[in-house]
Chain A
Amino acid sequence: MKYAFFPGCVSKGACPELYQSVMQVYPRLGIELAEMTTATCTGAGVLQEKDLRLGDVLNARTFALAEQQGLPIMTICSTCQGVMSQANHRLTTRADYLQEINGLLKDEGLEYRGTTNIKHFLWILLEDVGEDALRHSITTPLTGLRAAPFYGCYIQRPTEALGIDDHPDRGKSLERIIEILGAEIVDFPGKTRCCGFPILTINEKNSLTMVATHTRDAKSHGADIMVTPCPLCHLNLDGMQTKAASQEQTMIDLPILHLPQLLGLAMGLDAKRLGLNRNLISPESALVKIGVGL
């Protein structure tokens, strides 16, 4: 299982603990990674506000680079996954559009033939590594830990571009992982809703209300931690949680873990090596429940 690894800007920027934790867990899963060091940002849906076609050209370039290597792309960010999936859907369902975009790539010596598969680490765990191998990698099941899933919009919608119409299990994949890792799933209504990050600069009040609503709701349903496959959600749910609690005049204090951090704990890896000391809302008290120190 070898992938062209697309780490995304945030795992190399404001959430270095995500990159750190992926580096710790992937070799234990029989995965090989070739990092795409010359790939651009996907545009995160923001560049696409300005120019959708420009975004598709940049992503087609990334797909073509992976295609040259003959590798599928592995993402570790719901937003990267969603933006790439949507771009790939437009390119592979309209031959004339693909031809137009290839016309723009031609002078860079690139052509995208439409064969690159793009998969989030979350889906790879279940669809490529497989449940049996995943269970085999677990040394310390997270028994007693109550984990609330939080997906991020871009890995849930639109279902057609994400392949969820063809792979319905993807829509519940995070719950399945929590279960396999031995933790208890805490279901709550906000798990597929918006974290508020995209409007943080535009309407901070609404953004923080979303953070407070989801974290408080998960906690009231009994969650010890929340786990997300999206570093942008993490930036808001973890980074802005204290401010959100202040705005709503409440206490929340719900640790937010990146997916590979939770997986690494179940693999018995050291919490600091997983970057858990870098999470702004300390997971220390939650980790005590599974006998892990920080």
Chain B
Amino acid sequence: MHTTLRIRRFNPEQDRPSSYYQEYDLEIDPSDSVLDGLIKIRETVDDSLTLRCSCRGAICGSCGMRINGHAVLACKTKMISVASEGETIQVEPMNNMPVIKDLVTDMAPFWSKIRQIQPWLQPQGRAPTAEYIASPESMSHLSGVMSCIMCGVCVSDCTVLEVDKSFVGPAALAKAYRFVADPRDGATTHRLEQLNQPGGMWDCTRCMECIQVCPKGVGPMDRIMSLRAKGMKAKVPSTCGSRHAEVFTDIIKHKGMLDEPMLAIRTFGLKHAGRLVGMIPMIIQSVFKGKVPMSGPLHRPIPGIQHIQRLFTRVRSQS
């Protein structure tokens, strides 16, 4: 097939601070990967093109980059899956991390966040004479998250890191879950308390970009949701995030549908009354514009709420 690769170039020794796009026409087998195309360009057209790769088999996690706006492993992305005959493919370095040169990003901030969650087993008690024993049944649920190859693709497309570099990010939180859910680890409560801090597990927007782009099916956001559930169950100190989830669930139990004013009042409470005060201008404007609940301010329960309450009881009794 014929295609054009439109590649974002950056050479810190010549281009600082701006980058630019350079186009390369390419004849290539449609079943070849985008990485094959980039290597062909480097070897036959322009040896200044800089990229990072190694295994070419989606194992090493080196060739993370953005193709047509989404982060992927270039070796796992077939040409034909991202372009038809004659179409242009845009190739850019991963987002949310500094660019060293062309398609090579500086992974130092990534590794710093991984280290932040203490990615090693912290068992309690005396060390065994041989290895720590765990049954396959108690570990098998971790096989998905242990598939992470630390490629940085989820971090690249994280919508929170785009606006706040202090967020620990999806890869580190997925790794944190791997240890929180490990039956051999003895630091669960401490870990959850650390993850409960600003910039931790409650700062994720649930945008699902990380689930969508992860090339290994790790599902980082699902792991973050599991961390939140574990945090609430372990009763680590409440945050606006955990209170929001607790109150939301309680309202559904008693009314079936959401009662937005009650959700805000009970989430913020007296401790964060200032947040409620800060919403007053918007609330006044909303009321003035007629944006009031159709069921009235009392938010009556839905018909048949007793069915819902029985389901709550039944689910919880079987948990």
Q: Which residues of A contact B (CB under 8 A)?
A: 9-10, 12-17, 19, 37-41, 43-54, 57-58, 61, 104-105, 107-108, 153-154, 156-159, 189, 193-194, 196, 198-199, 201-206, 209-210, 213, 239-240, 242-243, 277-280
Report 22 cross-chain contacts, Cβ distance below 8 Å, ordered by A residue.
A9-B257, A9-B258, A12-B295, A13-B293, A16-B290, A16-B294, A41-B256, A43-B248, A45-B206, A46-B249, A58-B311, A61-B311, A153-B205, A194-B160, A194-B207, A194-B209, A199-B205, A201-B264, A205-B164, A206-B163, A209-B163, A209-B164
Q: A14-B260, A19-B294, A210-B159 are in contact. Are A203 and B198 (CB under 8 A)?
A: yes
Please pick, from A58, A105, A201, the residue contacting B252 in the complex, using a CB distance under 8 A. A58
With a CB–CB cut-off of 8 A, which chain A residues contact B244? 46, 201-202
Please pick, from B203, B239, B275, the residue contacting A206 in the complex, using a CB distance under 8 A. B203
Tell me the smallest distance from the CB of B166 to a CB of chain A, in Å.
10
Main secondary structure of the interface of A (DSSP, over half): helix
Tell me which residues from 39 to 70 in chain B have a Cβ below 8 Å from any Cβ of chain A.
69
With a CB–CB cut-off of 8 A, which chain B residues contact A213? 162-163
Query: Are A108 and B311 in contact, with the CB atoms below 8 A?
Result: yes
B178 within 8 Å of A by Cβ? no
Query: Are B241 and A58 in contact, with the CB atoms below 8 A?
Result: no
Q: Which of A45, A153, A206 gathers the greatest number of chain B CB atoms within 10 Å?
A: A206
Tell me the smallest distance from the CB of B301 to a CB of chain A, in Å.
10
Known: A53-B315, A210-B159, A278-B291. 11 other contacts (CB 8 A): A12-B293, A40-B252, A40-B257, A50-B229, A53-B319, A153-B209, A202-B244, A206-B203, A210-B163, A210-B205, A279-B289
B16 within 8 Å of A by Cβ? no
Query: Are B211 and A157 in contact, with the CB atoms below 8 A?
Result: yes
Query: Are A240 and B159 in contact, with the CB atoms below 8 A?
Result: no
With a CB–CB cut-off of 8 A, which chain B residues contact A194? 159-160, 205, 207, 209
Nearest opposing residue in chain B for A43, CB measure = B252
Query: Are A49 and B245 in contact, with the CB atoms below 8 A?
Result: yes
B225 within 8 Å of A by Cβ? yes
Query: Are A15 and B239 in contact, with the CB atoms below 8 A?
Result: no
Tell me which residues from 119 to 142 in chain B have a Cβ below 8 Å from any Cβ of chain A.
none
With a CB–CB cut-off of 8 A, which chain B residues contact A108? 307, 310-311
Q: A157-B212, A201-B268, A280-B289 are in contact. Are A37 and B303 (CB under 8 A)?
A: yes
B28 within 8 Å of A by Cβ? no
With a CB–CB cut-off of 8 A, which chain A residues contact B179? none
Q: A12-B294, A46-B244, A47-B252 are in contact. Are A277 and B289 (CB under 8 A)?
A: yes
With a CB–CB cut-off of 8 A, which chain B residues contact A107? 310, 314
Size class of the contact patch on chain B: 35 or more
With a CB–CB cut-off of 8 A, which chain A residues contact B259? 13
Q: A199-B203, A201-B244 are in contact. Are A41 and B225 (CB under 8 A)?
A: no
Tell me which residues from 232 to 248 in chain B have a Cβ below 8 Å from any Cβ of chain A.
232, 239-241, 244-246, 248
B312 within 8 Å of A by Cβ? yes
Please pick, from B260, B275, B314, the residue contacting A104 in the complex, using a CB distance under 8 A. B314
Q: A52-B225, A58-B252, A278-B291 are in contact. Are A201 and B232 (CB under 8 A)?
A: no
Query: Are A202 and B202 in contact, with the CB atoms below 8 A?
Result: yes
With a CB–CB cut-off of 8 A, which chain B residues contact A157? 207-209, 211-212
Tell me the smallest distance from the CB of A61 to a CB of chain B, in Å.
7
Bound-state Cα–Cα, A47 to B267, Å = 14
Query: Are B163 and A51 in contact, with the CB atoms below 8 A?
Result: no
Q: A158-B212, A278-B289 are in contact. Are A10 and B258 (CB under 8 A)?
A: yes
Please pick, from A15, A201, A239, the residue contacting B267 in the complex, using a CB distance under 8 A. A201
With a CB–CB cut-off of 8 A, which chain B residues contact A19? 294
Q: A104-B314, A108-B307 are in contact. Are A38 and B302 (CB under 8 A)?
A: yes
With a CB–CB cut-off of 8 A, which chain B residues contact A279? 289
Nearest opposing residue in chain B for A235, CB measure = B260
B147 within 8 Å of A by Cβ? no
Q: A193-B207, A194-B205, A202-B240 are in contact. Are A48 and B293 (CB under 8 A)?
A: no
Bound-state Cα–Cα, A54 to B317, Å = 11
Query: Are A278 and B256 in contact, with the CB atoms below 8 A?
Result: no
Please pick, from A15, A50, A206, A243, the residue contacting B164 in the complex, using a CB distance under 8 A. A206
